[in-house]
Amino acid sequence: MSGVPLLQARELVRRYTMRRGLMGRPVEVRAVDGVTLALERGRTLGLVGESGCGKSTTGRLVLGLEVPDGGNVTFREGPMPPRQTAEWRRLRARMAMVYQDPLGALDRRLPIGTQIAEPLDIHGIGSRADRPERVAQLLRDVGLRPDHAQRYPHELSGGQRQRAVLARALATGPELLVCDEPISALDVSIQAQVMNLLAEVQERSGIALLFISHDLRAVRQMSHRVAVMYLGRIVEEGDPDAVLHSPAHPYSQALVSAIPQPGRGGRRIILQGDPPNPAARPSGCAFHPRCALAAALCSRAAPVLKPLPDGRLAACHVAHGTVSPRDGMPQQRAA
């Protein structure tokens, strides 16, 4: 890969304050807690994890839609300019986003064509006379017909809407596309189409993708690299085949075992304990209350994300061999 990555995020932290009840004391919630990631041109980074683990917040942070409380984002070797400045707005043409709910992301009162032309209007790209031709080309690129330009969002199917959102995102020729659960609201048959379309677009334009999803199969199919998030931290990162075939972190193991596979009955890891609550982060390794392998050290010291012998990164005392898995009641159970 050519030298410096397109996108670099270092030690991103995003906190929210939350108040429980009328007189409750404000509680600090760390949605993202020290996430570091890098993305090269033409590559795809898959970000997986259960809901509430900070995937989407990470996506919004790297786009500069939210201001990190700690850490920084570098895009094309420049720091992210402050929000809502002219420079920040100009940068929007270089980075785009695809949303989970395409109907919500489109303005239901404007025809698709007008909305696809909107980024061109905003950034003053091309002349007004070229717009219809450019919109028609964008529509063809995402597998819609030019006459769809006159349709309103509610007149399209879910897959067509997501294609329209993608066409709008690609209108300015961005270098980075953040896909926040782009397929989870779609039909299974449409999911494959949209994923193929994204891969096709990437091959054609060399765009870098940050693919956020909780669907491990989709992530494996799309990504060049996968990062698994748990409670606002990356717990394992590496080659998708390595991470998703032989996960090193116990949380990744549980995630991978939840992929339904025919003929592999009875090896599913059911996680014990409560789902993670970012307002009450456990001490040490955040995963230790639910971990089958947790040793005494795990509840005291938080493991660092560092390379394993095979090159991938993991944050786990057991995987690194610092401690041996505790003996006792195995929490691995047949489904």
Q: Which is nearer to another protein, 19 or 89 (CB)?
A: 89
Binding of residue 306 to another protein (CB under 8 A): no
**Cα first-last separation, the chain:** 43
Binding of residue 7 to another protein (CB under 8 A): no
Binding of residue 41 to another protein (CB under 8 A): no
Gap between the Cα atoms of 314 and 252, Å rounded: 10
Binding of residue 17 to another protein (CB under 8 A): no
Q: Which is nearer to another protein, 133 or 155 (CB)?
A: 155
Region 251-290 residues binding another protein, contact defined as CB under 8 A: none
What would the two tokens of residue 64 be?
A: 């500069």
Q: How far is the CB of 52 from another protein (least distance, A)?
A: 16
Number of residues that bind another protein (CB under 8 A): 33
For β-strands 233-238 and 225-230, DSSP reports them as antiparallel
DSSP letters spanning 115-151: HHHHHHHHHT-S-GGGHHHHHHHHHHHTT--GGGGGS
Binding of residue 228 to another protein (CB under 8 A): no
Binding of residue 90 to another protein (CB under 8 A): yes
For the chain, the farthest-separated pair of C-alpha atoms sits apart, in whole angstroms, at 73
Binding of residue 63 to another protein (CB under 8 A): yes
Please give the DSSP secondary-structure letter assigned to residue 82.
Answer: P
Which residues, other chains included, contact 214 with Cβ-Cβ below 8 Å and sequence gap of 6+? Answer: 48, 49, 50, 51, 55, 181, 184
Tell which residue, 113, 193, 206, 126, has the closest CA to residue 153. Answer: 113
What would the two tokens of residue 335 be?
A: 């489904």
Select from 74-82, 86-94, 183-191, 226-234 the region that touches another protein (CB under 8 A): 86-94
- Residues forming beta bridges with residue 44, ordered by sequence position: 209
Which residue type is seen at 216? L
Site track 106-135 with another protein (rule: CB under 8 A), x = hit: xxxxx-------xx--xx------------
Q: Which is nearer to another protein, 132 or 330 (CB)?
A: 132
Please check whether residue 48 is in contact with residue 214, taking contact to mean a CB–CB distance below 8 angstroms. yes
Q: How far is the CB of 7 from another protein (least distance, A)?
A: 16
Q: How far is the CB of 135 from another protein (least distance, A)?
A: 13
Chain center to CA of 158: 21
Q: Which is nearer to another protein, 96 or 194 (CB)?
A: 96
Region 133-192 residues binding another protein, contact defined as CB under 8 A: 145, 147, 149-152, 154-155, 165, 168
Select from 47-55, 67-75, 91-99, 186-194 the region that touches another protein (CB under 8 A): 91-99
Binding of residue 105 to another protein (CB under 8 A): yes
What would the two tokens of residue 149 be?
A: 């330009």
Tell which residue, 334, 240, 254, has the closest CA to residue 294. Answer: 254
What is the contact surface with another protein in residues (CB under 8 A)? 63, 65, 84, 89-93, 96-97, 99, 101, 104-110, 118-119, 122-123, 145, 147, 149-152, 154-155, 165, 168
